[in-house]
Amino acid sequence: MTLAQRIHHLAESQTIKMAKMGRELAAKGIDIINLSFGEPDFNTPEYIKNAAKQALDENYTFYTPVAGYPELRKAIAGKLKRENNLAYDFDQIVVSTGAKQALANAILCLVNPGDEVIIPTPYWVSYSEMVKLAEGVSVFIDTTVEQNFKITAAQLEAAITPKTKAFFFSSPCNPTGSVYSREELAELVKVFEKYPEIYIISDEIYEHINFGEKHESIAQFPSVKERVVVVNGFSKAYAMTGWRIGYLAANKEVAQACDKIQGQFTSATCSITQRAGIAACEGGLESVLKMKEAFLKRRNLVYELLKNIPGIKSNLPSGAFYFFPDVSAYFGKAHQGVVIKNALDLSLYLLNEAHVAIVSGEAFGDPKSIRISYAASEEKLKEALYRIKLALAKLT
């Protein structure tokens, strides 16, 4: 066998795979509506693009410090204080090539082979694979649409064992859009207070795409802050997915470890992107709020359209830009010889029959559901949901 074991055991990112399949069909001239990828369809705000142009003109084209320019790390520390009431020194911040790398850094720095990492399901596709790469063991806590996909303190406590090293979650959540309130986080914190050795990796990348109460970070609880790794980034809030910039804030030991590992893997993220990141941090939230309003309108639209499709069971997501409906009512049905056994079959059926790309729930740890991204125009969303409805109606 040529390739290492770890690559054989690693699953391909299903979000990326479905987006790729959608693009391939579109390249063949098929009118595909791509609701698979979690990517804002807006352009990056002008003031951020201008900062990047200026960075090039000013020759910010050399290697940067591994953890990012000090000015950027200070700007991020300022953001965390201003928007989240979290105090961090700039050297507790490590800027990476997307929040994805920040998450991978944290897992690789914290998890030993055999360590357990508790992950509530549904979870974002890459969490379990990152744990696998670190040779850790994912321990999943199942949730249901009825509980709005949020775990209880009792469920958390029941999942903890002497091997538990970390708890890994997102709020607002990709794929369910669920958001933990301050009270709900406080309940989880009470459990963590009993287990001071457990780290908490808190993925807050959808912080600003939150339609309910103000975003709360679990790091705001002083009794656990020291062992929370806050991960955030610019991809979603500022429509900067292609720029590849995200960051983490942690205690100094973890931050230095992440700096060390990143120094061996990528050196640092792009210098020009980092200058744009400073502008994003310091430019206020006007453009972010505008995009949030658009997402809210789309959420309400898709919710109404989904309600009219028989056999679809969905919560009303409070944040992010996804729906994660239970579609198990269609399992066992068929159309022209194509039998739908599971969510993967259904996602392929919708791609081929409705020409709408979505992602199967298996990749998120929930085989009963599919994920629909609504980061698309209202016109496209209406058309996509219409096509989905027609295709599902053909299943008998």
Binding residues for ligand PMP (CB under 6 A):
38, 98-100, 124, 170, 174, 203, 205, 233, 235, 241, 246
Q: Name the residue nearer to ligand GLU (CB basis): 363 or 391.
A: 363
State the residue number with the nearest CB to ligand PMP.
98
Q: Does 101 bind ligand GLU (CB under 6 A)?
A: no
Per the CB < 8 A criterion, the answer to whether 322 and 175 are in contact is yes
| The one among 32, 33, 37, 128 contacting ligand GLU by CB under 6 A | 37
DSSP state of 350: I
Segment interacting with ligand GLU, rule: CB under 6 A, options 33-41, 75-83, 103-111, 213-221: 33-41
- Window 125-164: contact mask with ligand GLU (x via CB under 6 A): x---------------------------------------
Residue ranges with strand state E in the chain: 33-34, 93-96, 116-120, 137-141, 164-170, 199-203, 228-233, 246-249, 322-323, 334-335, 338-339, 356-357, 359-360, 370-373
State yes or no: residue 13 binds ligand GLU (CB under 6 A).
yes
Q: Does 15 sit near ligand GLU (CB under 6 A)?
A: yes
Cβ distance to ligand PMP smaller for residue 241 or 328: 241
Rule CB under 6 A: say whether 315 interacts with ligand GLU: no
Span near ligand GLU by CB under 6 A; candidates 11-19, 84-92, 142-150, 190-198: 11-19
Q: Can you tell me the distance from the alpha carbon of 120 to that of 112, in angstroms, rounded to the nearest whole number? A: 20
Q: Which of 293, 297, 288, 287 is nearest to 381 (CA)?
A: 297
Residue choice 121, 174, 202, 328 for contact with ligand GLU (CB under 6 A): 174
88/226 Cα distance (integer angstroms): 11
Tokens matching residue 131? 């744990």
| Residue 120 site contact among ligand PMP, ligand GLU, none (CB < 5 to 8 Å, cut-off depends on kind) | none
Is residue 16 a contact point for ligand GLU (CB under 6 A)? yes
Q: Does 105 bind ligand GLU (CB under 6 A)?
A: no
Single out the residue of 352, 320, 336 nearest to residue 38, CA to CA.
320
Chosen from ligand GLU, ligand PMP, none, partner binding at 233 (C-beta under 5 to 8 Å by type): ligand PMP
Q: Could you give the 3-state DSSP secondary structure of residue 337? A: coil
Contact (Cβ atoms closer than 8 angstroms) between residue 238 and residue 45? yes
Tell me how far CA of residue 370 lies from CA of 48, 346, 373, 394, in angstroms: 34, 8, 10, 18
243: partner contacted, choices ligand PMP, ligand GLU, none (Cβ within 5-8 A by kind): none
